[in-house]
Amino acid sequence: MLKIENLHASIENKSILKGLSLEVKAGEVHAIMGPNGAGKSTLANIIAGKDEYEVTEGNIQLNGEDIGELAPEERAHNGVFLSFQYPVEIPGVSVTNFIKTAINETRKAKGLEDMPAKDMLKMIREKSELLEIDRKFLSRSLNEGFSGGEKKRNEIFQMAMLEPKLAILDETDSGLDIDALRIVANGVNKLKSKDNAVIVITHYQRLLDYIVPDFVHVLYDGKIVKSGDASLALELEAKGYDWIKQELV
Amino acid sequence: MELKDKLVSSYVAFENRVETDSEVHEIRSKALQNFEALGFPTKKLEAWKYTSLSSVLKQDYSLFPNKENNIQLADVKKYFIHDIDAYKLVFIDGKYSSFLSETTHDTFDVCLMSAALVKPKYKAVIENYFDKIATKDNLTSLNTAFASEGAYIHIPKNIEVEKPIQIINLTTGSEAATLLQPRNLIVVEQNAHVQIIERHQSLTSNPVLTNSVTEVFAAKDATVDIYKIQNDDESASLVDNSYIEQKSNSVVSVHTFSFGGNITRNNLNFYQRGEHIDSILKGITIIEGKQHVDHHTLVHHIGPNCESHQDYKGIFDERSTGVFNGKVVVEKEAQKTNAYQKNNNVLVSDKATINAKPQLEIFADDVKCSHGCTIGQLDDDALFYMQQRGIPKKEGKALLMYAFANTVLESVKIPEVKQRITKLIAKKLGVDIGFDL
């Protein structure tokens, strides 16, 4: 599904990714862990197409197609979804209106008609129940005045509505209490299938108790320096990152 | 001949067309002297520092279009809020069109200024209210000097007018350039209630200059809602001088939607004479090209325990220019005033300009006055967020701008007007997004 080869990227001439390679297949869950400043969020933003980063070397392929030149919305239309670490507040646009626009624009890009209002409402009802979201919440302005947990739950709600092929969860666990974490993880697990893939970016093991990864990667200084199975996350939780840094020396 | 001289020398001809043996005409003649002394405003005046009329005044305007111009309803229907039942006062090249209008004299009067100025039936109201709050400045004096036609609306005590009144000024362009000076008087008596929609529309690209004056009187407990739709051809300029006097417990709102025109200047003045008065001034400006929109507002807090709310939003693209000058005066007697003013602007292009100036003159010591003004660009992070969810950049920008302007639409009480404005905004921004209303 996703294949990243020797990716180098910088922002304002500061090199952040320094030869990162990663392959994610359909049906898999990958966790990317690593200390602050390692380049985890940069990787997520580059896959999503944020243009303030400059890719200087390497490439990103989605289902065999190089997506390097595609606009963020085109990547979204191809099934890329990024759950933001800090979702943006947009006063004046309700959650419902926003997701309706997002879905219909995606359908338009695929040459489909707008989703009938009845189907849209039904889907909104189902997915909001899945994430235990109150109906009143849906008519509020997008992310405006939302608590940290509400913002993250709203991200996963949108993910559920858009049904992406590749979902990248950028520190979705930060700012969540244990109940909210369980609801969010449960939502992600219900959406998982053999046809889609998930990349979980996190500092902590605790989210991985709920969303169990097939692979765990350690990102350090712009590269993946170690990969393993779920047990690697436990080891990192117990020992921190210093031992990896030492291994590298 | 310069426009000023042309106007002054045409006054004799004007006098042949109106009743001159009246108090009203004395007012007119004095106003002409006033205008003769003052002339047109120039950029040397502080109030006109950022708005120049010089290019507009160079045109050779036809002052009193003579031709009767008929228009088919089908051709102009789109300029009406046509999906609601409404009273209509329609003027074509300054002349009343009975064919397109729908007036009434049943329990209240929705009719013509030309009739009100001469018929004995209206004498008392005219004597009490005509030219009583309009200032004696240059352009208002010019309008007063030639005041002869416009809307006359009188709502007696306790009457709630069940449908809105639309005042529509159409210009056919049958003259090379047309000067229009509509004069409106709106008197709303105690506990009466009325909604008014006002629009100026040029039907060709021949230059038009409209210098309009509207006086509004809201008596005790009255409610008046005025919606001004300014979405004219790029060759049409408008100076809208509105004067509103409010008595105790009255609520008056004015929403101004400025989406097009050459030069648009709004002089919106509120005078609060009483207690517990609420004045609401809201505006959305979305312009591009070389268009210019200037909002000059004044709220004069004279009595205690009153409120005023101002919320103006502007979106300026290409080389368009905007001005917001919001003046709030709180007199010594006006204790416990709550005056709120907000002006937020987005410059879409780096060639666009906005000059924003809040002006507060406070003489009372126990008041709450706040003002905030912002000038910014669209939020790139918000755009990326929307693109990430599959909303293309162009639509994302439109959605952001729509959201930005949205707070002003929330207080629009007529759903059809709200819908129309939403559509106008979507059309202006060049996108088709299925907004919920």
Write the pLDDT tens digit of every residue in A195-230.
999 999 998 888 999 999 999 999 999 999 999 999
Ranges B47-51, B208-212, B432-436: which has the least confidence = B432-436
Conformation bin of residue A79: beta by default, left when phi > 0, alpha when psi is -120 to 50: left
Q: Identify whether the C-beta of residue A41 lies closer than 8 Å to the C-beta of residue A33.
A: no
Nearest Cβ partner for A101 among B385, B399, B406:
B399
Instruction: Find the closest chain B residue to A99 by CA distance.
Output: B389
Same domain for B389 and B402: no
Task: Determine the Cα–Cα distance for residues B427 and B405; give it in Å rounded to an integer.
Answer: 14
Q: Identify whether the C-beta of residue B218 lies closer than 8 Å to the C-beta of residue B244.
A: yes
Res B131: pLDDT:
97
Structure tokens at A27: 């049906």
Task: Determine the Cα–Cα distance for residues A24 and A63; give it in Å rounded to an integer.
Answer: 10
Among residues A198, A231, A216, A200, which one has the least CA distance to residue A27? A198
Same domain for B436 and B345: no
Res A241: pLDDT:
86
Residues above pLDDT 70, as percent of chain B: 98
Q: Is the pLDDT of residue B79 over 70?
A: yes
The total number of residues written for chain B in this structure: 437
Same domain for B399 and B367: no
ipTM surpasses 0.90: yes
pLDDT tens column, B315-360: 999 999 999 999 999 999 999 999 999 999 999 999 999 999 999 9
Q: Which residues of A touch B389 (CB under 8 A)?
A: 76, 98-99, 102, 158, 162
Residues above pLDDT 90, as percent of chain B: 84
For B83-96, b where at least 16 C-beta lie within 10 A, e where not — what string? Answer: eeebbbbbbbbbeb
Same domain for B357 and B415: no
Same domain for B285 and B427: no
Task: Determine the Cα–Cα distance for residues B418 and B282; give it in Å rounded to an integer.
Answer: 13
Res B403: pLDDT:
84
Q: What is the pLDDT confidence band of residue A92, given thresholds at 50, 70 and 90?
A: confident
Q: Which residues of A touch B407 (CB under 8 A)?
A: 91-92
Q: Are strands B263-272 and B292-301 parallel, antiparallel or unpaired?
A: parallel
First CA to last CA distance, chain B? 52
- Nearest-CA distance from B422 to chain A in Å? 13
User: Which range, A32-36, A145-149, A165-169, B76-80, is most confident?
Assistant: A165-169
- Cβ neighbors of A12 (< 8 A, separation 6 or more) are none
Mark out the alpha helices in B62-122 (DSSP H runs): 73-76, 113-116
Q: Which residues of B touch A162 (CB under 8 A)?
A: 389-390
Instruction: Measure the CA angle with vertex A102, ends A99 and A104; round to 5°.
Output: 105
Q: Which residues of B touch A88 (CB under 8 A)?
A: 379, 381-382, 385
Structure tokens at A105: 């624009």
In Å, how far are A4, A68, A171 from A20, measured between CA atoms? Answer: 7, 15, 20
Task: Determine the Cα–Cα distance for residues B301 and B332; give it in Å rounded to an integer.
Answer: 9
Q: What is the pLDDT confidence band of residue B434, given thresholds at 50, 70 and 90?
A: low
Same domain for B414 and B390: no
Q: What is the pLDDT confidence band of residue B82, given thresholds at 50, 70 and 90?
A: confident
Residue to mutate among A93, A104, A161, with most B CBs inside 10 A, is: A93
Return the DSSP state at B276. S
In Å, how far are A205, A215, A220 from A231, measured between CA atoms? Answer: 10, 9, 18
Res A6: pLDDT:
96
Q: What is the pLDDT confidence band of residue A237, given thresholds at 50, 70 and 90?
A: confident
Task: Determine the Cα–Cα distance for residues A80 and B390; give it in Å rounded to an integer.
Answer: 9
Same domain for B323 and B422: no
Ranges A45-59, B144-158, B410-424: which has the least confidence = B410-424
Could you give the dihedral angle defined by the CA atoms of residues B260, B266, B270 and B276, in that order, rounded to the nearest 10 degrees?
Answer: 20
Task: Determine the Cα–Cα distance for residues A160 and A165; give it in Å rounded to an integer.
Answer: 11
Same domain for B272 and B339: yes
In Å, how far are A32, A124, A184, A216, B291 from A24, measured between CA atoms? Answer: 12, 29, 22, 11, 53
Q: What is the pLDDT confidence band of residue B12, given thresholds at 50, 70 and 90?
A: very high
Q: Is the pLDDT of residue B65 over 80?
A: no
Res B122: pLDDT:
96
Mean pLDDT of B371-386: 92
Same domain for B405 and B388: no
In Å, how far are A43, B258, B261 from B202, measured between CA atoms? Answer: 55, 15, 9
Give the number of other Cβ atoms within 10 Å of residue B135's Cβ. 16
Same domain for B405 and B313: no
Check CB contact under 8 Å for B402 and A92: yes
What's chain B's average pLDDT? 94
Place of tokens 């939403």: B422
- Nearest-CA distance from B400 to chain A in Å? 8
Q: Is the pLDDT of residue B300 over 90?
A: yes
pLDDT tens column, B194-207: 999 999 999 999 99
In Å, how far are A169, B96, B222 from A60, measured between CA atoms? Answer: 18, 68, 66
Residues above pLDDT 70, as percent of chain A: 100
Among residues B304, B301, B256, which one has the least CA distance to residue B279? B301
Check CB contact under 8 Å for B434 and A48: no
- Nearest-CA distance from B255 to chain A in Å? 18
Res B432: pLDDT:
61
Res B437: pLDDT:
35
Q: Identify whether the C-beta of residue B193 lies closer than 8 Å to the C-beta of residue B220.
A: no
A:B CB pairs within 8 Å: 87
Same domain for B229 and B288: yes
Same domain for B326 and B307: yes
The DSSP result for chain A, as a single string, is -EEEEEEEEEETTEEEEEEEEEEE-TT-EEEEE--TTSSHHHHHHHHHT-TTSEEEEEEEEETTEE-TTS-HHHHHHTTEEEE-SSPPPEEEEEHHHHHHHHHHHHHHHTTPPPPPHHHHHHHHHHHHHHTT--HHHHTSEETTT--HHHHHHHHHHHHHHH--SEEEEESTTTT--HHHHHHHHHHHHHH--TT-EEEEE-S-SHHHHHS--SEEEEEETTEEEEEE-HHHHHHHHHH-SHHHHHHH-
pLDDT tens column, B349-365: 999 999 999 999 999 99
Ranges A177-186, B177-186, B285-294: which has the least confidence = A177-186
Mean pLDDT of B25-44: 96
Q: Identify whether the C-beta of residue B437 lies closer than 8 Å to the C-beta of residue A117.
A: no
Q: Which residues of A touch B390 (CB under 8 A)?
A: 73, 76-77, 102-103, 105-106, 109, 162
Q: Is the pLDDT of residue B433 over 60?
A: no
Among residues B198, B224, B219, which one has the least CA distance to residue B210? B198
The total number of residues written for chain A in this structure: 249
The residue segments making up the domain with residue B405 are: 395-437
- Nearest-CA distance from A38 to chain B in Å? 22
Task: Determine the Cα–Cα distance for residues B100 and B102; give it in Å rounded to an integer.
Answer: 7
Q: Identify whether the C-beta of residue B171 lies closer than 8 Å to the C-beta of residue B65.
A: no
Classify residue A238 by burial, with Cβ atoms within 10 Å: 0-12, 13-18, 19+.
exposed
Domains contained in chain B, number: 2
In Å, how far are A106, A130, A176, B42, B301 from A181, measured between CA atoms? Answer: 29, 13, 6, 65, 54
Task: Determine the Cα–Cα distance for residues B114 and B103; give it in Å rounded to an integer.
Answer: 14
Among residues A193, A241, A206, A219, which one has the least CA distance to residue A29? A193
What's chain A's average pLDDT? 92
Q: Identify whether the C-beta of residue B126 lies closer than 8 Å to the C-beta of residue B148.
A: no
A101 residue type, one letter: T
Task: Determine the Cα–Cα distance for residues A142 and A138; give it in Å rounded to an integer.
Answer: 8
Q: Which residues of B touch A101 (CB under 8 A)?
A: 391, 395, 399, 433-434
Record the pTM. Answer: 0.84
Q: Which residues of B touch A84 (CB under 8 A)?
A: 385, 388
- Nearest-CA distance from B404 to chain A in Å? 7
Q: Which residue has the higher pLDDT, A12 or B142?
A: B142
